[in-house]
Each structure stands twice: as structure tokens, then as C-alpha cells.
Amino acid sequence: MEENWNNDRMKKEMEESKEEFFKLTEQLMDVIAKVCVRSLKSFEAYKGEELNHAEINQVAFHEIEDVIKQISDPEFDELVIKKAEIIYLQEKSNKNS
């Protein structure tokens, strides 16, 4: 009986984890879009006129490439890992309090 309970609990945890992953992916997409919008606004200010569709695509594409390059940097990975550990330990500590 306990084995079924563990299986049910595991299924529930996996489903909740999947939902959280989708939400976090959406948040990541929002952050990257905001980075692109910042660049688009800067480019538009520099250009002095509204951007056309091709320029929007080009600027956004290059900004996405830059973000991917930055997050692929081993130093960035180390910072994220340290931050993840801090958040994990804080959440665990709060949960145990």
C-alpha cells in the first residue's frame, strides 16, 4: 500500500515540477524579450526614427545571441550556481522554520 502512495506522490511531484518548469520558462522568455525591447528602444533612439520589421528582427536576433553567449560563459554559470544554492538553502531553512 505504501508503495502505491509513493508512486502517487511521485506522480504529483513530477506534475507540479513540470508546471513550475513551464512557468519558469515563460518568465525566462519574458526577461529575454525585455532585454530585446531595451535594445530596440536604444537602437531606435540612436537611429532617430521608428524601426521597420526587418530592423526589429535583426536587433532582437542579435540581442538573443548575446544573451545566449553571456549565459554560456563559465563565470556566469558559477554565479548562477552560487545563487541557486543560496536560494535553495534559504527556502529549505524557511520550510524547516
Range of the domain at 26: 2-96
Handedness of CA 56, 57, 58, 64 (dihedral sign): positive
Q: Kindly report, residue by residue over 29-81, the tens digit of the pLDDT.
A: 999 999 999 999 999 999 999 999 999 999 999 999 999 999 999 999 999 99
Give the number of domains in the chain: 1
Whether 1 has a pLDDT exceeding 50, the answer reads: no
Contact 32, 64 (CB under 8 A): yes
> Which of helix, strand or coil describes residue 48?
coil
pTM (predicted TM-score): 0.75
